[in-house]
Structure 1
Amino acid sequence: MSSRLLLWIAAAVIGFILLCAAGAGVLTGGAADTGLACTPELAASAPASSSPAPTPSVRVSVTPAVDGRYPAIGRWDATQVANAATIIAVGQRLNVPQRGLVVALATAMQESNLHNLDHGDRDSLGLFQQRPSQGWGSRAQVTDPQYAATAFYRRLLKVDGWQAMRVTQAAQAVQRSGLPTAYAKWEADATMLVTRLAGTAGVPQPCTAVAIGGQGWVKPVDAPIVSGFRTGQRPGHDGVDLGAARGTRIVAASAGTVSRVRCNVGAGSCDVDGHPGLGGCGWYVDITHPAGVITRYCHMLTRPLVREGQTVVAGQQLGVVGSSGNSSGPHLHFEVHRNGDAGSTGAIAPQDWMREHGAPLG
């Protein structure tokens, strides 16, 4: 047995142990759990706030760390993350769809940078810079994060067709800002915080249960196939499109090493929605597995959470679903390649491979 194969086996064994850690079971068969699975690393943290982080009194699925404080996540310090958790928790209590949580966070990011401000333009105050003179409530009310979030959601839910709007359009329909497109730039960060906080106890968890097939493979997202492999209409389509919602977690289909992390577009940025004809996979990840198998994950919303050369286990989060690159809407484009060939000639039908390896797609 070669030393390279031994290394792969060791990685798989370690992955199994990690997935079973802290009381998290590994499930055989069934649908993949959408909870955060074995994500050991976060983006570089911003400096922690010098003031104590507020603890939301609304408790749904968002709770602080053991010591009562929230961790910094990415550019957002503990105080900002705690305010985001309050906004998310209020939305969950009101049964607001996840898209609404993203709209609310993007709005608060633009209006206050997730700080509960006691000042603003004219009489604007609080996380959402709501104005008492415009009927949002008293000064004390709009500077109460729970009240402010509730008021925002109630107005959002009254907007006809808000779920079909872009984030910036939905936010503007509520806020009526003088900068109507300013909310767009916060969508990626808002989605990231909702993904990290909603339903994951407020702290990015190292491990949770994930459905891994008997051969060590798991579906990258739990979603239907909306476009097949090399169909008559799309003979050059080297993978399948899985119709998952924006912000859905994408996980590694099996243990391996991240061989590529790229922004791939014909022109412009991967941090905005693409469109048909633009060309490119947007933000994408390639993972190299044993025996020359390669999997590819395209059109992510933001820069992937992994780096080139990093070893990952089956079920480990790679990023979230988006619509970057050559894309008509949010989905995951998923490919499987053989013989170490990441090009078109190495592509095989992903649905056949995954079914044969105990993790059928769709």
Structure 2
Amino acid sequence: MIGPDPAPARRRRGRLRLVPLTVSVTVALALLCCVGGAAAFMLTSLGGAKDPTMTLAGDACGQGAPLAPDAAAMPRMETFGPSQLRNAAVIIAVGRQLRVPPRGWVIAVATAIQESRLSNLPYLGAGNDHDSLGLFQQRPSQGWGTPAQVRDPAYAARKFYERLVRVKGWESLPLTDAAQRVQRSAFPNAYAKHEPAATDIVNRLANGAARAIGAAVNPRCATATEITASGWTLPVHAKVGSGFRTADRPTHNGVDLIVDRFTEIHAAASGRVLVARCDPDHQGRRNCDVDGYPGKGGCGWFVDILHAGGVITRYCHMVQAPFVRPGQLVRAGDVIGKVGTSGNSSGPHLHFEVHLNGIRAWAGGIDPVPFMRDRGVPLGGAA
């Protein structure tokens, strides 16, 4: 493990079931995706003669993206250079060949960011955790392969995926839990902070795949109850009513999702509950067990959840006390409460907010519509 985090703990020796993998073929990641966007590019000679040549195309929602074999520009990313992105491309290509769903690509890339900053590390003396090597800091002494093998990016990625897919329910686990089941790190929470960067890398290199549902190798935009490869899902399946900071409601810090009373509300992503309580009205009263009305003030019964990367989601106007408590860890899709009309509300709906940089106050709020669309879960069902 490289960087400020201490080295990972010893990993358990285990017998691995090998899955045949050919990495000399052309791997075309012309995937379906969810948002229009970047130019196409091509990666070749990814670290050796046995590495795959990958043709990667730009975004095109809901349709097969065209290949562009004559494009040569790597995407620009402030944090990672061309060699690091080539290693990420190998990880994605191997996952694709093994038919691992895109959620696995995000987990694998995030793990490699934590372990090596996506660099194929040699033996670094005292900087190594014992005999850890390569992208994933795999240890030959712990059954991962020979030193030469674990420094082959394609081989190392394959070994990671083989262990990942044996983890029961890995696709629905928070990323840091899934990665830890494979890596057995002494610092199991270290992986979570890299989920946003890994999601961005997968989206850029694999045609928006992190915005697609995690259960498909040829992905599509997610619908209600499905979780995207980046780990997001719809809080409710509903029409969008009042929007974010509109001209007639400039202080409206979220969007209203119009849906029936008692509809279940789902955590939009895995995270930790920050707040779950009754929000007082303008008079300081905590009377959330009765229907609210316009001008009353307050969120009524509400929940705030902190997600990877300092993102916070807020769920207001619940019909009764939330089903979760502060400090509780939740998974994407967990039911956290039911829709109501408590607080400053004129009828049953879910008021849904997204905040960045861990700021729960008004200043941290952003428009949830493009945010959720970019994660493959468009609010209101529209791409």
Structure with the bigger percentage of helix: 1
Give the number of the structure with larger relative contact order, counting CA–CA contacts within 8 Å between residues 6 or more apart: 1
